[in-house]
A and B are shown apart, each in its own frame.
Chain A
Amino acid sequence: MGPEGTRSLDLSATAVDSVGRPGPHGSGRRRFSLAWLGVVPFFAYATAFLILPSVVVLVGAFKSPTGSFTWDNMSEVIHTPEYRHAFRTSIELSIVTAILGGALGLMIAYAAIRPGTPRSVRPVVTTFSGVAANFAGVPLAFAFIATLGFTGIVTKFLDEHLGINIYEHGFTLFSFTGVAIVYLYFQIPLMILVIAPAIDGLRSEWREASSNLGASSFQYWRHIGFPVLLPSVLGASILLFANSFSAYATASQLTGGSVELVPLIIGQNVGGDVLSNPQLSQALALGMIVVMAISMVLYALIQRRASRWIR
């Protein structure tokens, strides 16, 4: 797929359709040869800086250092316990933060939008979500080190005022649990941003109609609210999964590699601006692309269903 296929298709259409001036309606097909030129810059740019680098990674995953075809890189990734473990940890972390972030984000978004909540709450919540969803990486990691790190403000507060030393109880910020807590800081806002339009799709007319017909609040949710929201919630959770699976900066700053995640291993293989073990990096990257592609296909399928109610 991609631009090449489209190009030849469109050109063949040109010969037939390029006669005549554009009329008031259905201008989509006329002057096709010229119209097509309008999207060349976009596809050229995407090819140079997105498609070609991606293709190089895909091909490189099956290339030996001498350039011949090989399965060795992939089989090394599959058969080395360290890498398998990394994929497992990455997937587990993403599932945990997608479910928790999804549930909390949904609750907060609904609380902010539902009838009864002052109108002024929603823009505050969505604006903050817009900031927080992008407040990832280095500063986020450090904000949590200052909060829940060994000498963090909240850690010290709990110890001095409530007598609970969380680090003596086995908690550490630089662990799977710690990374999950920090990831929620961008997962929850992302959920709020993604799910808000779906909650808007729950029209107040439906609620009024169902209560006019004698339905209880539970019946409304059971038969209308929940089924309408479900595809959007599932779709958004997949987006959260992918978001967490591909995250690098936050975990790299937080753990320095003590929690083995796939992006961190890929990152360790890039030294300076060269790849120290390109074959392995590319094989791991291909593994990530496969997981990401599956998530995105699922997302697209679910989204198609969900979008029925979002207009």
Chain B
Amino acid sequence: MKPRISASAVIWLVVGTVYFVVPLIATLLFSLQSGKNSSYSLAAYGNVLRDHTFWSTLKLSLELALETIAISLLLLVPTVYWVHLKLPRIRPYVEFMTILPFVVPPIILVVGLLQFYNGTFRAPLWYLENPNYFLTSAYVILAFPYVYRSLDAGVRAIDIHTLTEASQSLGAGWRTTMSRVILPNIRVAALGGAFLTLAIVMGEFTIASLAAFFTFPTYIAQVNQEKIYEAAALSLVSFLITWAAMAGLLLVGRGSGRGRARLAGGR
């Protein structure tokens, strides 16, 4: 009684695969043309890997991503839990705040941040000139919608009232309840938000370039202007980084959270 795959499903999946895979293959082939007279070679990749700016910007962007993830989880995990448990009435306001970054996209956020912290109000230079402060503060805002939605879904999927009560009636304090009951149950949701944030930060160009910071995406943009084969190689590297990060985090989430994930999915 197993239904067979329908012809139209096959067609749409093939159309999708072609549209999404062809540019990746083309970029790969393009990046390999770097030999003499467009013969195939890996020279472009060698040049990229030997360029220490590649490593330094990559490291900076990774740092920014980890900082952003840490701050958004520290800020949002307690908020989401607390709002569900104690303050359901203010949930619409929290939700509004986390949707606002869609209304105020990066291109406007950067104008506002520069105007406010470098105009209306003169922020100290350590904030304005250090990407770890300026960019991270903005990236946490960009991560809000994704991390909040992921955590909100995670908290909804479990019965936090019962879990909290059970934990407390067994004598656990808030800290134990949080770290041994709530966190393990929303771990997959937190990782989900984290992996999206990683992808966002590793690719964020608008704020970084307009606020004149040299991160991984602005480095790629600079190479784009000068060396086309290296640019193709870097585009592919950038895609693989996003891909690897996501796959890795998905695996972590699956390894220990399979049972819960299935429960959450079967609501």
Q: A-side interface residues toward B, CB under 8 Å?
A: 1-3, 6, 10, 24-25, 27-28, 31, 35-36, 38-39, 41-43, 45-46, 48-54, 56-57, 60, 104, 107-108, 110-112, 114-118, 121, 125, 127-128, 130-132, 134-144, 146-147, 152-154, 184-185, 188, 242, 246-249, 252-253, 263, 266-267, 270, 272-275, 278, 281-282, 285, 288-289, 292-293, 296, 300, 311
Instruction: Please give, as numbers and ranges, the residues of chain A lying within 8 Å of B89 by CB-CB distance.
Output: 10, 28
Known A114-B6, A135-B238; further 10 A-B contacts with Cβ < 8 A? A35-B86, A42-B75, A130-B199, A131-B243, A137-B205, A137-B206, A138-B220, A146-B23, A153-B29, A246-B108
Question: Which segment of B45-53, B109-117, B180-188 sits at the interface?
Answer: B109-117
**Contacting pair A267 B141 (CB below 8 A):** no
**Contacting pair A49 B196 (CB below 8 A):** no
- 13 CB contacts below 8 A, A to B, read A2-B96, A10-B90, A46-B100, A56-B120, A111-B9, A116-B5, A131-B243, A137-B205, A137-B217, A138-B235, A153-B30, A249-B205, A270-B114
Confirm or deny: B234 has a beta carbon within 8 angstroms of a beta carbon on chain A: yes
Instruction: Please give, as numbers and ranges, the residues of chain B lying within 8 Å of A42 by CB-CB distance.
Output: 75-76, 79, 94, 97
**Contacting pair A248 B107 (CB below 8 A):** yes
Interface string of B236-262 (1 = CB under 8 A from A): 101100110011001000000000000
Instruction: Report the minimum CB–CB distance from B176 to chain A (whole Å).
Output: 17
Instruction: Please give, as numbers and ranges, the residues of chain B lying within 8 Å of A144 by CB-CB distance.
Output: 23
Instruction: Please give, as numbers and ranges, the residues of chain A lying within 8 Å of B217 by CB-CB distance.
Output: 137-139, 249
CA distance A144 to B235 in the complex (A): 10
Instruction: Please give, as numbers and ranges, the residues of chain B lying within 8 Å of A285 by CB-CB distance.
Output: 107-108, 111-112
Instruction: Report the minimum CB–CB distance from A269 to chain B (whole Å).
Output: 8
Partner of A275, one of B99, B111, B250: B111
Instruction: Report the minimum CB–CB distance from A181 to chain B (whole Å).
Output: 9
Partner of B79, one of A31, A38, A143, A253: A38
Closest to B219 in A: A138
CA distance A128 to B19 in the complex (A): 13
Instruction: Please give, as numbers and ranges, the residues of chain A lying within 8 Å of B29 by CB-CB distance.
Output: 146, 153
**Contacting pair A289 B103 (CB below 8 A):** yes
* Shortest beta-carbon contacts, A-B, top 10: A53-B112, A246-B105, A146-B30, A153-B26, A147-B26, A111-B9, A139-B235, A249-B205, A111-B12, A38-B82
**Contacting pair B224 A138 (CB below 8 A):** yes
Instruction: Please give, as numbers and ranges, the residues of chain A lying within 8 Å of B61 by CB-CB distance.
Output: none
CA distance A110 to B224 in the complex (A): 37
Instruction: Please give, as numbers and ranges, the residues of chain A lying within 8 Å of B158 by CB-CB distance.
Output: none
Count of residues in B whose CB is under 8 Å from the partner chain: 100
CA distance A271 to B93 in the complex (A): 35
CA distance A285 to B239 in the complex (A): 30
Instruction: Please give, as numbers and ranges, the residues of chain B lying within 8 Å of A289 by CB-CB distance.
Output: 103-104, 108
CA distance A116 to B161 in the complex (A): 39
Closest to B108 in A: A285
**Contacting pair B19 A53 (CB below 8 A):** no
Residues A54 and B112 in contact in the complex (CB < 8 Å), given A46-B97, A246-B107: yes
Closest to A121 in B: B13
Residues A137 and B27 in contact in the complex (CB < 8 Å), given A38-B86, A43-B97: no
Instruction: Please give, as numbers and ranges, the residues of chain A lying within 8 Å of B234 by CB-CB distance.
Output: 139, 142
Instruction: Please give, as numbers and ranges, the residues of chain A lying within 8 Å of B264 by CB-CB distance.
Output: none
CA distance A31 to B85 in the complex (A): 12
**Contacting pair B16 A49 (CB below 8 A):** no
Residues A56 and B116 in contact in the complex (CB < 8 Å), given A35-B82, A42-B79, A50-B100: yes
Closest to B203 in A: A137
Residues A131 and B242 in contact in the complex (CB < 8 Å), given A45-B75, A139-B203, A248-B206: yes
Closest to A263 in B: B107
**Contacting pair B141 A50 (CB below 8 A):** yes
**Contacting pair A253 B246 (CB below 8 A):** no
**Contacting pair A136 B203 (CB below 8 A):** yes
Instruction: Report the minimum CB–CB distance from A153 to chain B (whole Å).
Output: 4
Confirm or deny: B165 has a beta carbon within 8 angstroms of a beta carbon on chain A: yes
Instruction: Please give, as numbers and ranges, the residues of chain A lying within 8 Å of B231 by CB-CB distance.
Output: 142
Name B1-23 residues within 8 Å CB distance of A: 3-6, 8-13, 15-16, 19-20, 22-23
CA distance A158 to B141 in the complex (A): 44
**Contacting pair B79 A39 (CB below 8 A):** yes
**Contacting pair A108 B102 (CB below 8 A):** no
CA distance A31 to B82 in the complex (A): 13
Instruction: Please give, as numbers and ranges, the residues of chain A lying within 8 Å of B138 by CB-CB distance.
Output: 49
Instruction: Report the minimum CB–CB distance from B106 to chain A (whole Å).
Output: 7
**Contacting pair A27 B232 (CB below 8 A):** no
Partner of A185, one of B11, B23, B75, B161: B23
Closest to B82 in A: A38
Instruction: Report the minimum CB–CB distance from B199 to chain A (whole Å).
Output: 4
Instruction: Please give, as numbers and ranges, the residues of chain A lying within 8 Å of B172 by CB-CB distance.
Output: none
CA distance A139 to B240 in the complex (A): 11
Instruction: Please give, as numbers and ranges, the residues of chain B lying within 8 Å of A253 by CB-CB distance.
Output: 205, 221, 224
CA distance A293 to B99 in the complex (A): 10
Partner of B9, one of A2, A116, A135, A300: A116
Instruction: Report the minimum CB–CB distance from A282 to chain B (whole Å).
Output: 7
**Contacting pair B86 A27 (CB below 8 A):** yes
